[in-house]
Amino acid sequence: MRSSSSPPPPASRRGRARKAPAFHVSVFKHMELPCGRDWAELPADAISCILHRLDQTELLIGGVAAVCRSWRRAAREEPELWRRIDLRDFHHIPPFNWPVGLRSIMRAALRLSAGQCHTFFGEHLHDDHFVLLAEQAPLLKSLHLINCYCISDEGFANTIKKLSLLEELELSWCLNRTQVLELVAGACPGLKHFRLVNHWNFEPKDDRKARAIARMCGLRSLHIVNDKLDNEGLATILDSCHHLEYLNMRDYWNIKMDENLGAKLARINVDDYEYLLPSDPDSCCSSPFSSYDDYGDLSLSYYLGDDIDDMDEEHGRTIDIKSMCRYLS
């Protein structure tokens, strides 16, 4: 029995315990973490949450490989991390004055995906890179090729046949020739989304590209920028692609809207928003590594290669606090 002098217990508000205050993860930037913290003690789900916030290039050559064995194992043994592989702008990362080339990075990412990669973004690829992708990603459904002008027509023709499951394809500033579009139409019968972005096109009007796109009968969305498309070509596409729901066009000086074309477009969501180039300072496609100032210090950069577990274990137990805060931001 409680003594009469003891204070009464605090009254709970509506019978519920008060919740602990919640803080945004950014508060860790302003906290001094204990030196030598053993990051291997983090729960597996916390490690997985952190890794899912990083892109593949960050996972492969960032500080993840230097934290500890458990982090490296988590990055290697979870194919879900590698189902979407984005290697755009990877050449802009400062540590690439050390010998890890695009093929090595690409091979490592595809190996870690264990054949489950379904989305791939690539820039400045060559024929051998494209062949490697087709061999290691047989389930690929979404492919985005940007500035891949070194992929030859022959190399593309021999490889695109292996990617018959593609549902989404982007060809930006590369592979915009008529024969390439004809190959895509024949090799990818399930294509639903197609994006074609050209450089300034000074070639004479040619409706063969429109006829090639019209063969992609299952298209749901179509985005074309800066091509010699006219009323006749657009009408050909609309008459063949009966499932088309979204159309985005820009820089089409040959198209003159008339009653016939307007009737065909009535069933489609037409968008003509301003398309920003990656080099545009206002573009949302600017380099994702522009704010990674920590990469200026090469001591914070490691490669998640096959021999990474041979590194000095004492050095791999801890990670620089500044680099860790970057992961938590």
| Per-residue confidence band for 91, with pLDDT thresholds at 50, 70 and 90 | low
Residue 41: pLDDT above 80? no
Mean pLDDT of all residues in 63-91: 81
Q: Which residue would you say has higher pLDDT here, 100 or 86?
A: 86
| Per-residue confidence band for 44, with pLDDT thresholds at 50, 70 and 90 | confident
Return the pLDDT at 201: 60
| Per-residue confidence band for 307, with pLDDT thresholds at 50, 70 and 90 | very low
Return the pLDDT at 322: 41
Beta-carbon contacts of residue 61 (< 8 Å; ≥ 6 apart)? 93, 95, 100, 105, 301, 302, 303, 304
246-250 and 119-123 beta bridge pairing: unpaired
Give the whole-angstrom CA distance, residue 307 versus residue 161.
Answer: 35
Q: Mean pLDDT score of the chain, rounded to an integer?
A: 75
Return the pLDDT at 42: 81
| pLDDT tens track for 256-280 | 888 888 899 999 998 866 444 443 3
| Per-residue confidence band for 326, with pLDDT thresholds at 50, 70 and 90 | very low
Return the pLDDT at 227: 77
Return the pLDDT at 50: 85
| Per-residue confidence band for 84, with pLDDT thresholds at 50, 70 and 90 | very high
Return the pLDDT at 197: 92
Mean pLDDT of all residues in 109-124: 93
Q: Which residue would you say has higher pLDDT here, 14 or 146?
A: 146
Q: For the chain, which domains are there?
A: 83-300 (3.80.10.10)
Q: Where are the beta strands (DSSP E) in the chain?
A: 84-86, 119-123, 142-146, 168-172, 193-197, 221-225, 246-250, 269-271
Mean pLDDT of all residues in 173-192: 94
| Per-residue confidence band for 327, with pLDDT thresholds at 50, 70 and 90 | very low
Whole-prediction pTM value? 0.73
- Tokens linked to 174: 């590369």
Residue 170: pLDDT above 70? yes
Mean pLDDT lowest among 111-115, 287-291, 307-311: 287-291
Residue 89: pLDDT above 80? no
Mean pLDDT lowest among 22-31, 51-60, 234-243, 313-322: 313-322
Q: Residue 211 in contact with residue 238, Cβ under 8 Å?
A: no
Return the pLDDT at 73: 82
* Selection from 159, 215, 169 nearest residue 195 by Cα: 169
Mean pLDDT lowest among 146-155, 162-171, 288-297: 288-297
Mean pLDDT of all residues in 109-118: 93
